[in-house]
Amino acid sequence: MAEKLLLEVVTPDKLLLSKEVDEVIAPGAEGEFGVLPGHSHFLSTLKIGELRYRVGDQTNHMAVLWGFAEVTPKKVTILAEIAEKAEDIDVDRATAKVAEMEKRLEVGGLPSELKEAQISLEKARLRKKIAERARRK
């Protein structure tokens, strides 16, 4: 069995991360899933959520907004529409976006507008949570 996994996180813009890791926990559309070296092959869709990966006793966090995960015994490839490392997220900007979207939802509007605002709020809350976690380290 392999001792490490290669984790690659790819967005439409770039290869965001390529790193040897000990464990990956991803936000699958059907629920969170964990991957250790030697895991069986599978594919999964991803939802808005937190991607965690561990190297030794250090756990790192990323925001992942939709996409796909391909798992093999030696590699996890995350193809995400949007992904951000915790240290790259501006917590003040995320906090402002949460407040803006909460106000937007209070105002009301067409169902399509409310759905879009709800998704934006979910993304902003995720980014804020991950950014705050990185600040505490």
- Indicate if 66 and 128 belong to the same structural domain: no
Q: Tell me if 5 sits within 8 A of 74, measured CB to CB.
A: yes
Q: Which of the listed ranges 1-15, 27-41, 91-105, 121-135 does the model predict with the highest average pLDDT?
A: 27-41
- Indicate if 74 and 129 belong to the same structural domain: no
Q: Is the pLDDT of residue 2 over 70?
A: no
Instruction: Identify the pLDDT of residue 134.
Output: 75
- Indicate if 20 and 74 belong to the same structural domain: yes
- Indicate if 12 and 76 belong to the same structural domain: yes
- Indicate if 73 and 26 belong to the same structural domain: yes
Instruction: Identify the pLDDT of residue 91.
Output: 87
Number of domains in the chain: 2
Q: Is the pLDDT of residue 108 over 90?
A: no
- Indicate if 72 and 21 belong to the same structural domain: yes
Q: Over the stretch 119-132, which tens digit does the pLDDT of each residue have?
A: 888 999 999 999 88
Q: Tell me if 21 sits within 8 A of 7, measured CB to CB.
A: yes
- Indicate if 130 and 114 belong to the same structural domain: yes
Q: State the pTM of this model.
A: 0.84
Residue 8, class by beta-carbon neighbours within 10 Å (0-12 exposed, 13-18 middle, 19+ buried)? middle
Q: Over the stretch 61-94, which tens digit does the pLDDT of each residue have?
A: 999 998 999 999 999 999 999 999 988 888 889 8
- Residue 37 sits at φ, ψ, to 5 deg, of -55, 140
For the domain that residue 60 is a member of, what is the CATH number?
2.60.15.10
- Indicate if 20 and 81 belong to the same structural domain: yes
